[in-house]
Structure 1
Amino acid sequence: MPRISKLLAAAAACLMLSACTSFSPATDDLMRPPRLTPEQRAINDALDDAALTQNYSLKYPKSGDHRSAFVFHDIDGDGEEEAIVFYEPSIDNTARIVLLDRQDGVWRSLCDLPGAGQDVEFVAFANITAKDASDVVVGWSGSDREEKQLRVYRYSPADRVLVNALAEGVSPGYTTYLIDDLDRNGQADVFLLSSNSRTTLESFWINLLSFDGDAVAIVDKKPLTERILQFAGVTAGRLSAGSARRAIFVDELVPGDSLAVGSTDILVTEVFSVADGELVPVISYSEEGEGEEADYDRLDPDYQKPSLYQMTKRPNTASGANNPNSVPSPLCTDIDGDRAIEIPTARLLPGYDQVDEADRLYLTEYNRLEKDELVRVFAAAINRGGGYMVEFPQQWIGAVTIVNQMENGEWRFIGYNGSDDPLNDLSVELARIRVVSQKDYQDKFLENYQKFSESRGMFSYYGYIPESPSSPLAITWTDLQDMFSLL
């Protein structure tokens, strides 16, 4: 399935994008709006006139699709874009939001509102209060980014200003969020994932923020897993390719010892849909409960079928990486492009059960949800350090393992024989893959290797297929090319 491989590579690439620099001054103090055109100068002059103080600093959203302090969007529906500007006056530590509009060719301020924090986490636009609305959703935070607050602003045509669309007394905090119209009623909802640490025991919740006819309010909430270390990912899509029912998929990093699968942190997934303005659990810790670990031996007379929640438990395959800040993996995604979200699981490759965690290799499997089962649609071994992955055909699963040659960064694919030292038994070798830098010495051992068409910067990728392999697990060079893809 080469197409699925490319889709997974694209999904994995999104998780791996990062940037670093040794030069780290405050961006807000350095950057100013561009002054290249009369239009840009006019917008900046309008902000100067509206700002509470002569001296101010621009505030830049830290995430999301809009990263500029000046965000342009048609908010009033007149076919022309207005400007939203975030700034912090010199008199206090609270950021503000300004709405600028061009009237008779002149940019003017329509309103200047205080924010709910010192920094802007994100800004987004969604039709929450009406089907034809373009409401402004802003995440605010303090300087430590620990306390995040969400606000929804609607445009008031009568007064030509932005007004708070939240119901009186509603001031929702959040850790992460997702905006989506899951029930397809033509109006978007906001899903807020948050923790409540005001009680003796910290609790975690998913909150549904919707328009109730008068204002935007929390119309429903459901508890999540009891102990969550991190919300690792959140996405939305169809529950299955054959159904129009959509859901939100929440990936959570939790302590492994609490779930009886080891001492290291692991991942689980909870899934919720929306019906009649309420959250409907599809896979839920609180609904299914954890109970005792299920017996996975179907031949055992006391066999207990695991719950869907238990089925989603998987090791964090990124935990063995040298980077302690690596993004937990694997996470839910649409792996095959059918608009349905697949739920990943991961298993140790054969022979790695007694290997140190940092050196373990896993087979990642993506599964579709079918009633009360997870059905595999794709499986691959992912080499994050090398920047590539290899899809496993059906006959390889459980029968093939990988030897990681640390000295040259090569992966060797071998048939697993279950011996006392299976990772050192290369008698059934099926393939090799090596990453080679242009700076490396090109030794003679690459003479029998073939080069993959994909490359990344100064790195090239080479593969090797043994001559006349006798194993029924054998593949061809063409097979290996189809199985290989970059992250």
Structure 2
Amino acid sequence: MRLKITALTLALLLLTGCAAYNDVETLLRAPQLSGESAALQKALNSYLGGSATLKYPASGDFLSPFAFGDWDGDGTNEAAVLYTADTTSSNVFLAVLEPSGEDSWHVSQTIEGLSSEVETFSAAHLRDATSQQILAGYGSAQGDRYLVVYEYDGTNLNTIISNRYSEMVLGDFTGKGDTQDLVLALPTDTEYGGVTLQLLTNVEGEFRSYQTLNLGEGSYSGCAALSAGQGRDDAMYLVMDAWSGSNSLVSDIILYDSETGFLQPYHPPGLSDPQRSTLRYHTELLSRDIDGNGTVD
């Protein structure tokens, strides 16, 4: 009887061991793509004549190597894929693919990025209400960050903006309604510090730099975060969290003045010194829309 029990116990242990081994092997195995994603990688590999390594961005609208949108405004969604290939440089590449039938794609254009890592991957209506432009933020080993805005016109994939930056935010700050604006916080390079904000917007059909606004010269040492929200009058506003010294944060509110046509610092009624009122030493206390109601907290 004891021999039977021992044999049964050993058999169960062996089966459990096999199951555990299989579970570990399953976890270690690279995830398999399915459906549309698999078709995209198949088309990309065929175009490259080899195997592409997909690159995952750290943040943005797309937390996947694959993005879908109507890049050229023709009414049909295209795809964009982030990848590296063994036969090319270590930099990330961006490929735009067009649909060519049911579950079938072909590569239309590729372009080389600025580094081996993608920090953010998004899309926005920057030039008009139909086409979307692709935004990719690249980080370098030296700590520099570069934002590139790509435009695809159905034939060519071009860089329309390439800027060094520290933070970025999208929003309809100028009130156009059908397009979005881009605000970049530029790196602080002067001995006096401060933060320079750059507004890029659609001007007569061309997306370009429109204004720079200098804030906190002599007080700020850099930008910690940019957030966009809506006020009670439904106007879009910008909140900038800035470093004040090495271990404290303050906030500025910036609004677009339709009369002057420029972004300007805004002081809410009864708040004469927003920086002093928002001073905090817990550096994780960044401005953000905590409850998802469209306003910045």
Q: How far did residue 310 of structure 1 move?
A: 3.9
When normalised by structure 1's length, the TM-score is 0.48
The residue that corresponds to 2:3 in the other structure is: none
Deviations 1:415-454 (A, max 9, x none): xxxxxxxxxxxxxxxxxxxxxxxxxxxxxxxxxxxxxxxx
Q: Give the number of equivalent residue pairs.
A: 263
1:62-461 alignment, distance < 5 Å: 62-77=58-73, 80-90=76-86, 91-105=88-102, 106-144=104-142, 146-157=143-154, 159=155, 161-166=156-161, 171-185=162-176, 186-197=178-189, 199-213=190-204, 215-226=206-217, 227-229=219-221, 231-239=223-231, 241=232, 243-255=233-245, 265-276=247-258, 277-283=261-267, 307-316=272-281, 318=282, 328-329=284-285, 331-333=286-288, 339-342=294-297
Distance 1:229 1:55 in 2: 44
What amino acid does structure 2 have at the position aligned with 1:82?
E
Q: Which runs of 5+ in 1 are unaligned?
A: 1-29, 257-264, 285-304, 319-326, 343-487
Distance 2:157 2:251 in 1: 37
Distance 1:224 1:135 in 2: 29
The residue that corresponds to 1:477 in the other structure is: none
When normalised by structure 2's length, the TM-score is 0.76
Distance 2:54 2:186 in 1: 28
**CA pair 36-127 structure 1, distance change in 2 beyond 3 A:** closer
**CA pair 247-71 structure 1, distance change in 2 beyond 3 A:** same
**Do 1:156 and 1:162's aligned partners in 2 also have CA atoms closer than 8 Å?**
yes
Distance 1:179 1:31 in 2: 37
The residue that corresponds to 2:43 in the other structure is: 46
Distance 1:95 1:179 in 2: 23
Q: How far did residue 153 of structure 1 move?
A: 1.7
C-alpha RMSD of matched pairs (Å): 3.0
Deviations 1:104-134 (A, max 9, x none): 3331001011112221111111110112221
The residue that corresponds to 2:32 in the other structure is: 34
**CA pair 69-311 structure 1, distance change in 2 beyond 3 A:** same
**Do 2:242 and 2:249's aligned partners in 1 also have CA atoms closer than 8 Å?**
yes
**CA pair 33-151 structure 1, distance change in 2 beyond 3 A:** farther
Percent identity of the aligned residues?
24
Q: How far did residue 283 of structure 1 move?
A: 4.5
**Do 1:118 and 1:143's aligned partners in 2 also have CA atoms closer than 8 Å?**
no
SS of corresponding position for 1:46: helix
Q: How far did residue 95 of structure 1 move?
A: 1.2
Q: How far did residue 247 of structure 1 move?
A: 1.0
Distance 1:335 1:32 in 2: 35
Deviations 1:370-420 (A, max 9, x none): xxxxxxxxxxxxxxxxxxxxxxxxxxxxxxxxxxxxxxxxxxxxxxxxxxx
Structure possessing the higher radius of gyration over alpha carbons: 1
The residue that corresponds to 2:19 in the other structure is: none
**CA pair 98-338 structure 1, distance change in 2 beyond 3 A:** closer
**Do 2:251 and 2:275's aligned partners in 1 also have CA atoms closer than 8 Å?**
no
**CA pair 74-32 structure 1, distance change in 2 beyond 3 A:** farther
Distance 1:214 1:335 in 2: 35
**CA pair 200-120 structure 1, distance change in 2 beyond 3 A:** same
Q: How far did residue 35 of structure 1 move?
A: 3.8
**Do 2:41 and 2:52's aligned partners in 1 also have CA atoms closer than 8 Å?**
no
